[in-house]
Amino acid sequence: MASSSSTSVFLVFSSLLIFSTLLYVSEADYSAPIVKGLSWDYHHKTCHKVEKIVRKHLKKVFKEDIGQAAGLLRLHFHDCFVQGCDGSVLLDGSHGGPSEQTAPPNQSLRKQAFSIIEDLRNLVHRECGRVVSCADIVALAARDAVHLSGGPNYDVPLGRKDGLSFATQNATLNNLPAPTSNASTILSALATKNLTPIDVVALSGGHTIGVSHCSSFTPRLYPTQDPTMEKTFAHGLKEVCPTNTTNATTIMDIYSPIKFDNKYYVDLMNRQGLFTSDQDLYTHEVTKPIVESFAHDEKLFFEEFVKAMIKMGQMEVLTGEKGEIRAHCSIRNHDNKGYFSYLVEEEDQSDLESRAELLYVMCRLVAGEDDSGGELEHHQSLTNETERMDPQIRAQIARLEARISRVEARMEKLEVSVRYLQRRMYVYGFVCLMSVLYAIFK
């Protein structure tokens, strides 16, 4: 009897493990081809906790206000459609001109979304150093906004660098589809970005969460009502927006406004889409059957949405030596020389070697060793050379040395922990084996 009970428990546990593995593989199957410079495990060695850090913080944020999920998802859209997914929408304006944020389509982006990204950047950089770009953090935040709102979970290719400039007002206006655009206009515009009609309809499904300002849809209400809008729905909107100048907001999806699902497409079939760009998807001959298929099959919508998100997230990305990793998401790095991770890439190798040699001699002097052979005079010249370095470079080197020391200390603690866990695993494994043998031979 005891043997049968033990066997049953083992089978149940094994089944759970197999199911979990299959579920993970099915998520990975959504993966689309990725561009050169990005990879699925880009931060595995430099910041393997980045995704956990982002998700843990966003769980806290959404617990207080799930509405922030839509703001983060929209921020990713607006970043990628204008000069690529380079975090340029995060940049503040400068003497060079107004930023992307001041363009009319971006003025309604949630201010809290920018603050959340900066908070995430601070948490990630505090844990790992400046090795993860703001553009990557925006992409991860958008993924978690979808998943934590009830949508699909999926892998995100990483390795983006942050842009060195923001787009002009005209470029921003020309690259963001307007809510008053019809389906033909949107399909043509997004085809230039390698997005298919299925991609366009799937990405539009992001409107299943969030709110809209009256100004984005009142042209469908005044001076005359759009005949493609259901009358009762239109009447409700007029109560929220009694004039075409009302500055109010309303939910995008009347069925499940805070849950990421396929009800947006049900809205369109019921003529309850909010924007012209939404409702016209159910009028256009190319996109109408796609809307219907997504309305009837949520799993299909999720699969196509993930493919489209991964494709969109690779638009005109900067990788390798292009761009930088910003120390603060809203401003370019002051030195304009890219970024420092584990290596100071912009520093001349001979300067680094001279600094290392100088530190070695200083250690010898502190230890009381003689400086025979005129080494002190030689390294005094090295000191002068070091002092002539760019002050920002010297400061970066000092911070790098401090970070290396902290990493070495963490590695020592980690090695101790690993050895301890290994010993415990051996003990538990032995106990488990003995229990199984006892159950078999009892």
Sequence ranges of the binding site: 79, 82, 84, 86, 88, 100, 177, 207-208, 253, 261
61 token code pair: 């944020």
Instruction: Please identify which of the residues 43, 57, 78, 125 carries the catalytic annotation.
Output: 78
How far is the C-alpha of 74 from the C-alpha of 147, rounded, in Å? Answer: 14
Strands (E), 274-366: none
Q: Dihedral sign for Cα 26, 27, 28, 31, please.
A: positive
Residues 6 or more apart whose Cβ sits within 8 Å of residue 207 = 252, 253, 264, 274, 275, 278
Give the number of other Cβ atoms within 10 Å of residue 238's Cβ. 16
177 token code pair: 């589809």
Active-site annotation holds for 76: no
Residues paired with 328 in a beta bridge: 331
How far is the C-alpha of 2 from the C-alpha of 210, rounded, in Å? Answer: 55
Nearest CA-CA partner of 298 in 262, 327, 334: 262
Nearest CA-CA partner of 185 in 308, 265, 275: 275
Contact 78, 153 (CB under 8 A): no
**How many CA atoms, within 13 angstroms, populate the side-chain half-sphere of residue 307?**
19
Residue numbering of the annotated binding site for substrate = 177
How far is the C-alpha of 306 from the C-alpha of 142, rounded, in Å? Answer: 11
Contact 352, 369 (CB under 8 A): no
Contact 327, 336 (CB under 8 A): no
Residue numbering of the annotated binding site for Ca(2+) = 79, 82, 84, 86, 88, 100, 208, 253, 261
Contact 84, 172 (CB under 8 A): no
Please name the helix (run of DSSP H) or strand (run of DSSP E) that holds residue 213, with its range, or none. strand 211-213
How far is the C-alpha of 258 from the C-alpha of 269, rounded, in Å? Answer: 20
How far is the C-alpha of 19 from the C-alpha of 13, rounded, in Å? Answer: 10
Among all residues, which ones are annotated catalytic? 78
